[in-house]
């Protein structure tokens, strides 16, 4: 039996604050217990499990983050897990104008158990990429699948590759020269974790094993590089696949987003 409490403890200890090279184009700014990530397509706030402040002091901390990005005319999101403290943090975010988005399932898998030779449909080739043109193609692919502008993905990936190419591994599955699925791994140096991100497949190619193939390939690389644990914040579509592949649910996460127009609604 897997000790999910131990997995959650490892996650809380190692995955709360980004580590390693700061992606090119971003800056990290600390404000008391939280980390403010500036320079991306939107602001992001990261925090320990317990921010360590309550009441009016917590309200002031939240409003400072909101107002900082209001001056920039930019949206900001605060990532919260169900077991975070204080327990009224979500309520106070909403009171400050942050809007909760759909919940995601936090899952952790043992890399050695997930690693396998990727099984691909006929005519599909798996390729590791890092060139700017391929990263731009990934952003176009993601925009096509999700139906909204994902052009920022190219800048994000380029920034990560530029900062430390060893900290990210990007895979695409192609058929006839077209990207049919894409995903990447972000390695957290000094931890046991690899974050699995970006898993996206064209609708007409779903149900043919591509998600599993990219998962197996990334897990195999993680094992080869000495990383033990795989982390995913999974959508409702991905979570069942990951559970069948041996991942374990440890928490639920939710982004609370504020956008400049929210102040006037």
Per-residue pLDDT of the chain (265 residues; tens, 9 = 90+): 789 999 999 999 999 999 999 999 999 999 999 999 999 999 999 999 999 999 999 999 999 999 999 999 999 999 999 999 999 999 999 999 999 999 999 999 999 999 999 999 999 999 999 999 999 999 999 999 999 999 999 999 999 999 999 999 999 999 999 999 999 999 999 999 999 999 999 999 999 999 999 999 999 999 999 999 999 999 998 999 999 999 999 999 999 999 998 554 4
Note the pTM of the prediction, 2 decimals. 0.94
pLDDT at residue 60 in the model: 98
List, for residues 119-163, the tens digit of each pLDDT value.
999 999 999 999 999 999 999 999 999 999 999 999 999 999 999
Q: Are residues 179 and 207 in the same domain?
A: yes
> In this structure, what CATH number is given to the domain that contains residue 199?
3.40.630.30
Pair (80, 170) in one structural domain: no
Distances (CA, A) of 17 to 77, 122, 204: 15, 41, 37
| Domain identity same for 37 and 115 | no
43 shares a domain with 170: no
Specify whether 46 is located in the same domain as 126. Answer: no
Q: Is 94 left (phi over 0), alpha (psi -120 to 50) or beta?
A: alpha
Residue span of the structural domain in which 204 resides: 109-252
Contact (CB, 8 A) for 192 and 229:
yes
pLDDT at 29: 97
- If asked whether residues 98 and 216 sit together in one domain, one would say no
- Same structural domain, 222 and 260: no
Distance CA 240, CA 243 (A): 5
User: Residue 75: inside a domain, yes or no?
Assistant: yes
Q: Left, alpha or beta for 233 (phi > 0: left; psi -120 to 50: alpha)?
A: beta
* One domain for residues 75 and 120: no
The CATH number linked to 43 is 3.40.630
At residue 2, the pLDDT reads 87
239 and 257 part of one domain: no
Q: Is residue 3 part of a domain?
A: no
148's tokens? 């909204």
Distance CA 121, CA 63 (A): 50
Are 169 and 234 in a shared domain?
yes
Overall domain count for the chain: 2
Q: Are residues 72 and 174 in the same domain?
A: no
Looking at residue 262, its pLDDT comes to: 59
Question: Is 4 among the domain residues?
Answer: no
CA distances from 21 to 2, 46, 95, 100, 181 (A): 32, 16, 34, 29, 27
Q: pLDDT value at position 261?
A: 81
């Amino acid at each position: 039996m897997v000790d999910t409490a131990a997995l959650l403890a490892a996650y809380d200890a190692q995955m709360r604050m980004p580590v390693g090279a700061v992606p090119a184009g971003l800056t990290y700014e600390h404000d008391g217990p939280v980390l403010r990530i500036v320079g991306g397509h939107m602001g992001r706030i990261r925090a320990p499990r317990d921010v360590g402040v309550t009441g009016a002091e917590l309200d002031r901390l939240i409003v400072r983050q909101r107002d900082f990005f209001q001056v920039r005319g930019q949206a900001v999101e605060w990532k919260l897990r169900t077991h975070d403290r204080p327990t009224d943090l979500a309520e106070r975010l909403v009171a400050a104008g942050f809007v909760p988005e759909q919940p995601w399932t936090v899952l952790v898998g043992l890399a050695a158990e997930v690693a396998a030779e990727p099984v691909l449909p006929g005519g599909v080739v798996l390729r590791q990429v890092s060139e700017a043109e391929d990263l731009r193609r990934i952003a176009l692919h993601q925009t096509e699948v999700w139906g909204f502008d994902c052009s920022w993905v190219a800048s994000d990936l380029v920034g990560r590759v530029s900062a430390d190419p060893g900290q990210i591994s990007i895979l695409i599955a192609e058929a006839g020269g077209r990207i049919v699925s894409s995903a990447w791994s972000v390695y957290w140096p000094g931890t046991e974790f690899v974050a699995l991100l970006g898993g996206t497949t064209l609708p007409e190619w779903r149900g043919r094993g591509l998600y599993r193939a990219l998962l197996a390939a990334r897990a195999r690389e993680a094992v080869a590089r000495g990383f033990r644990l795989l982390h995913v914040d999974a959508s409702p579509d991905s979570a069942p696949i990951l559970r069948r592949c041996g991942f374990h649910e440890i928490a639920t996460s939710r982004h609370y987003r504020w956008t400049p127009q929210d102040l006037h609604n």
